[in-house]
Amino acid sequence: MSRSPGKPKVAFIGTGGTIASLGRGPLDLQDYTAAGSMMHADEILEKWPETALVANVMPIRFKAVPSPAIGFADWKELAALCARLERDHPDLAGIVIGHGTATLEETAYFLNLTLKVLVPVVLVGSQRPSSALSSDAGMNLVNAIRVAACPESRGLGVLVLLNDEIHAAREVTKTSTLRLQTFRTPDFGALGHADGDAIAYYRRPVRRHAPDTEFDIAGLEALPRVDISYSYAGGDGTAARAFVAAGARGIVAAGFAPGMTPPDEFAALTEAVKQGVTVLQCTRAGSGRTFRGTRLRQAGLLIADNLNPQKARLLLALALTRTQDPEEILRMFREY
């Protein structure tokens, strides 16, 4: 791809997902993975040449997989790749990571806690494959590149761009299986918008984020095992006991709002604490803070603030790489 003088340089890392997928026809909106056709970063840019109108984009091949296949090993490699790109390209304005939407919020938040780069990093996906009629892939990608190249994006931590909305990695979550407006920030809303004439910001994240974090994953071979126990009426704690037996060092209890579990599950979680497992009370509500009342304190359970279960799991796992002190872990959940 030819370079245009005066345009910002943006790296585009492809990991796969719907944005990289080609279905069996323009109306294949849901079963496209059966076609088995997924593009790498350079092929995506060829599919959407409009990206060259807004920046000089460097394609970086990484993977071409559905996002349920992505985990810690990939996150560690992505963090190292971002650091290498910033080091090797002093004129780099930003980095865009194409990603499937299923685990996009988890990758974004993990990188938000571990990246050590100064340039903006923006995760982008799509709800419809690049081959679909009215696909959102091309416009999302163009806007993500614009956001990554925008000087005002610096200092905001890792960002997520879909459907013209810019969200903070800590707060955004996928809320709908098929709708284009699936990525939302409960309680607080988007940071800003990628409009046709401008990248417009209206608020900033206040919690600690990349690159100003205390977590170092460079020497880690794996994260400590942290599991999620999902509460439901009549739950008896079987899952929590199984997680302890499997060697879990932490359990996130995705409880009833505002932070409760069935009696038998609570007993199992309390017993887990006595066995040295860190247990974090979260909620399945998708919005709002948890409260560490007398009952939780006496049982030794910690709280997840307003993080959803899947993000609380990531922060707890990283916290456990540094400490098992409950007060220190609570501090981290207050700060991040």
The Cα 310–Cα 251 span in angstroms is 11
18 is catalytic: yes
Helix (H) or strand (E) holding 167: strand 165-168
Angle at 88 between CA 83 and CA 94, to 5 degrees: 60
Contact 300, 270 (CB under 8 A): yes
CA 47, 53, 59, 64 dihedral sign is negative
Angle (nearest 5°) at CA 194 between 203 and 130: 135
Q: d(Cα 261, Cα 162) in Å, to the nearest integer? A: 34
Three-class SS of residue 104?
Answer: helix
Contact residues for 202 (Cβ-Cβ < 8 A; gap 6+):
190, 191, 192
Tell me the backbone φ, ψ of residue 92, rounded to 5 degrees.
Answer: -70, 130
The residues, ordered by sequence, that sit 6+ positions from 298 with a Cβ below 8 Å of its Cβ are none
Residue 302 three-state SS: strand
Supply φ then ψ for residue 119, to 5 degrees. -70, 150
> Which of 15, 18, 51, 213 is an active site residue?
18
User: If you ran DSSP here, which 8-state letter would residue 44 be given?
Assistant: H
- Tokens found for residue 209: 């984020």
Q: Say what the alpha-carbon torsion angle 306, 311, 315, 318 is, to the nearest 10 degrees.
A: 180
- 218 CB-contact burial (10 Å; exposed 0-12 / middle 13-18 / buried 19+): exposed
Q: Which residues are catalytic?
A: 18
